[in-house]
Amino acid sequence: MRSRDGRGALADDTLLAGVAVGDDAAVDEFINRFERRVYGTALALVGDRSLAQEVAQDTFVRVWRHAATYDPRRGAVRTWVLRITHNLCVDALRVRRPVAVDPMLLFDTADDRGGSPERIAHAAAVRAALADLPLEQARAVVMAAMYGYDARTIAERDGVPLATAKTRIRLGMAKLRVGLAREEEWAS
Amino acid sequence: MSGMTCDDVRTVAAELALDVLPADERARVLDHLDDCPVCRELVDGYVRASDSLLLALPDAPVPSATAAAIRATKPVAQIEVRRRMRGRWMLAAAATVMLVVVAVAVVAQDEPVEDEPGEVAVALVAADGDAVGTVTLEGGDDPWIWMAMAGVDDATYRCEVVFDDGTTAAIGRLTVIGGHGAWDAPIAFDLGDVSEVHVVAPDGTIVASASV
């Protein structure tokens, strides 16, 4: 769908400012710009097209509702939007838990032909950083970060003591933080 | 005082950043972070790592039915109410978010604007009569408050509501940096009982208020 009135060239935060005041063309462009990301994120996390559609709809409803309070100091617009999507997915998954968690499959971009080269490169960096972790730590990080599982739930799922689950999250995130920083440094 | 040391916080900082820390522990960690920039930086680093994971998830083609369902969410009612803002938006397209917030405040200055059933937007007015922001209150099943300010001194302000019986309650903090700031939160009181919203400076001065 083509953007109207040249709004396709606007920065994300300027476009969101238009959304905040109810500019129809800005709303259209915002949807065009983010629907693949929002729907893709939802689909990757909930694994169900119908549920992913519900999450995508709810994401945009919340964007319209909260656009005026978006705070650029707390992250880029795309991060803000995807956090909304993520929170909705976590809520949805409280009712329907995914059967299995494979950290590598979640970030598989083999079918992501429409993604930008930058995002696909970023996904590759994340996969590389996750692959450097012991599998149990990568799983714990993905279960917590992506599915909103707390340490107690992870301990139950993996059949380990609570302290072990907490350690896996802590060590996994610490290594991931360093690994991603190294990847970003290398890429720049 | 949270009773937590930096070592204590380091063991749970990742869980806090991932938003999976139990509520009681979370409150104590947040208390510690209020006074500890070193631990705040640690948590921020974990938040960035978590965001990196989120941003790495693949895009997906949107089925036509889903695309239509998404477009059905467009805020038609808001567009109608705010249509008079359209001229201002043409300028705002090249301006900052907060300029828009001020423009909304000007519209809301004279009378509350009912955007949706149960939702009221009112201007935050400084002592000199200038509109410096907006307050939006939404009732219903998911009551919420949004506040935004621009053109005021950088500081962390206390947000208070004044009830019809004259009592007040602090409901949160709004931080202004670079001349603008915003804050929102769920609320747990009846909107019908609220008469005013105040923004209070650290020295106790009411810098702006809104009549609901």
Strands B155-163 and B131-138: unpaired
**Separation CA A103–CA A145 (nearest Å):** 11
Say yes or no: B47 and B134 in one domain: no
Say yes or no: B100 and B157 in one domain: yes
Q: Which CATH number covers residue B206?
A: 2.60.40
Per-residue pLDDT at B178: 65
Say yes or no: B120 and B29 in one domain: no
Say yes or no: B179 and B125 in one domain: yes
Is B131 within a domain?
yes
Is B61 within a domain?
no
Say yes or no: B102 and B139 in one domain: yes
For tokens 């567009």, the residue is B79
The 10s digit of each residue's pLDDT in A58-97 is 999 999 989 988 888 878 999 999 999 999 999 988 777 6
Say yes or no: B90 and B183 in one domain: yes
Which carries the bigger pLDDT value, residue A24 or residue A188? A24
Is B166 within a domain?
yes
- Tokens standing for residue B106: 């000007």
Per-residue pLDDT at A120: 81
Q: Which domain holds residue B37?
A: 6-55
Say yes or no: B29 and B132 in one domain: no
pLDDT of A100 > 90? The answer is no
Question: Residues with Cβ < 8 Å from B198, sequence gap 6 or more?
Answer: B159, B160, B161, B162, B168, B206, B208, B209
| Average pLDDT score over residue span A42-68 | 92
Is B68 within a domain?
no
Say yes or no: B111 and B201 in one domain: yes
The reply to whether A34 touches chain B by the CB within 8 Å rule is no
Number of domains in chain B: 2
In chain A, the domains with their CATH numbers are 1-96 (1.10.1740.10), 99-188 (1.10.10.10)
DSSP labels for B121-154?
EEEEEETTS-EEEEEEEE-TTS-EEEEEEESS-S
Helix, strand or coil, per DSSP, at residue A115: coil
Is B62 within a domain?
no
In 3D space, the residue among B121, B98, B77, B95 whose CA is nearest the CA of residue B178 turns out to be B98
- Tokens standing for residue B165: 């019986």
Is B22 within a domain?
yes
Say yes or no: B49 and B83 in one domain: no
pLDDT of B142 > 80? The answer is no
The 10s digit of each residue's pLDDT in B154-179 is 788 888 888 888 877 778 778 777 66
Q: Which residues of A touch B66 (CB under 8 A)?
A: 39, 49, 52-53, 56
pTM above 0.90, yes or no: no
- Tokens standing for residue B71: 């477009």
Helix, strand or coil, per DSSP, at residue B175: strand
Query: Which of B79-93, B158-172, B195-209 comes out lowest in average pLDDT?
Result: B79-93
Helices and strands of chain A, counted as H and E runs: 9, 0
pLDDT of B70 > 60? The answer is yes
Which carries the bigger pLDDT value, residue B176 or residue B1? B176
The maximal CA–CA distance of chain B, rounded, in angstroms, is 56
Taking the CA of residue B12 and the nearest CA in chain A, the distance in Å comes to 7
The reply to whether A70 touches chain B by the CB within 8 Å rule is yes
Partner-chain contact B72 A57, CB within 8 Å = yes
Is B201 within a domain?
yes
Q: Is residue A133 classed exposed, middle or buried when 0-12, 13-18 and 19+ CB atoms within 10 A define those classes?
A: buried
Say yes or no: B90 and B192 in one domain: yes
Mean pLDDT of chain B: 76
The reply to whether A107 touches chain B by the CB within 8 Å rule is yes
Q: Name beta bridge partners: B174.
A: B157
Query: In whole angstroms, how far apart are CA B177 and each of A11, B98, B198?
Result: 21, 11, 19
In 3D space, the residue among B2, B211, B75, B105 whose CA is nearest the CA of residue A26 turns out to be B75
Say yes or no: B37 and B80 in one domain: no
The answer to whether B103 touches B86, Cβ cutoff 8 Å, is no
**Separation CA B89–CA A181 (nearest Å):** 39
